[in-house]
Amino acid sequence: EAGVAQSPRYKIIEKRQSVAFWCNPISGHATLYWYQQILGQGPKLLIQFQNNGVVDDSQLPKDRFSAERLKGVDSTLKIQPAKLEDSAVYLCASSPDRGAFFGQGTRLTVV
């Protein structure tokens, strides 16, 4: 079974630039999560989708972050404009029911 695919693996941008991350979940998984993991901390949920609808985006900084899951499959997470404190690993996960399977993440460095 193919896992959760994320791209790019690494990204370096300057502050105030824009960046987008892509996630392809495991086929058939209805739930998709985006997490932000800052170095030395546990993953923090940014947004949770159920199919193509948003279940929880209470911790998403909506003034600069946006996410979509068109057709209930792939998802993109965008940051515009980026700040230095956005430097982190962005993890995508998908779930068939109660657990979650994670991608390898995208490491973002904002300079």
Query: Which of the stretches 12-20, 65-73, 74-82, 103-111 binds another protein when contact is defined by CB under 8 A?
Result: 103-111
The alpha helices in the chain, defined as continuous H runs, are none
12 vs 18, which CB is nearer to another protein? 12
Token readout for 38 is 């800052």
CB atoms < 10 A from the CB of 86, how many? 20
**By CB under 8 A, residue 102 contacts another protein:** yes
Instruction: Give the residue from 62, 70, 60 showing the smallest Cα distance to 25.
Output: 70
Residue 48 touching another protein (CB under 8 A): yes
Asked if 33 interacts with another protein (CB under 8 A), we say yes
